[in-house]
């Protein structure tokens, strides 16, 4: 397992080229709404990684919605792209999660549990997390590409 940086999160502007881009739930949702910057980041990355936890969050949202099958079909299409990989929760990810959640609790830093799992997966993959969720900025050592929620459609 790689050693985990202990410093603060590093927030990138999104202008940098990203080798291993990890897509969180908010980024995937914006991609489906044709957000230009998300689309640029996803198509410009050498590898796009989606944690299994994100797929679970999406499945839950789809089950609660009115377009479940259409959304599942779009997700499967995305996951089938040759540069997209699903990242499972492995023993290494679980160890990172345990370390992260303990450190966050000791410092009194609230971060939703699923976000800690997504952060642990990103750190384990040495990736950069694409997100609109500011909670990730509180995770030590995580490289975050934080995007704004403007509705900039791709053209």
Phi, psi angles (nearest 5°) of residue 10: -110, 120
Secondary structure E strands in 13-123: 20-23, 47-51, 84-87
* Model pLDDT for residues 25-37, shown as the tens digit of each residue: 999 999 999 999 9
β-bridge partners, 68? none
8 Å CB contact between 72 and 62: yes
Tens-place pLDDT, residues 37-85: 999 999 999 999 999 999 999 999 999 999 999 999 999 999 999 999 9
Q: What is the pLDDT of residues 109-128, one digit of tens each?
A: 999 999 999 999 999 999 99
Please give the domain boundaries of the chain with CATH numbers for all domains.
Answer: 10-146 (3.40.50.1010)
Whether pLDDT at 132 is above 70: yes
- Whether the Cβ atoms of residue 11 and residue 144 lie closer than 8 Å to each other: yes
Q: Tell me the whole-structure pTM to 2 decimals.
A: 0.86
């Amino acid at each position: 397992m790689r050693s985990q940086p202990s410093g603060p999160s590093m927030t990138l502007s999104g202008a940098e080229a990203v080798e291993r881009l990890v897509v969180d739930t908010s980024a995937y949702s914006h991609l489906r709404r044709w957000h230009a910057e998300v689309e640029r980041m996803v198509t410009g990355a050498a590898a796009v990684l989606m944690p299994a936890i994100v797929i679970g969050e999406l499945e839950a949202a789809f089950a609660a919605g009115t377009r479940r099958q259409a959304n599942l079909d779009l997700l499967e299409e995305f996951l089938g792209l040759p540069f997209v990989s699903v990242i499972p929760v492995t023993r290494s990810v679980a160890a990172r999660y345990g370390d992260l959640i303990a450190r966050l609790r000791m410092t009194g830093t609230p971060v939703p549990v699923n976000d800690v799992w997504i952060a642990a997966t990103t750190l384990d993959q040495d990736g950069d997390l694409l997100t609109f969720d500011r909670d990730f900025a509180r995770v030590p050592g995580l490289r975050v590409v934080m995007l704004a929620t403007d509705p900039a459609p791709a053209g």
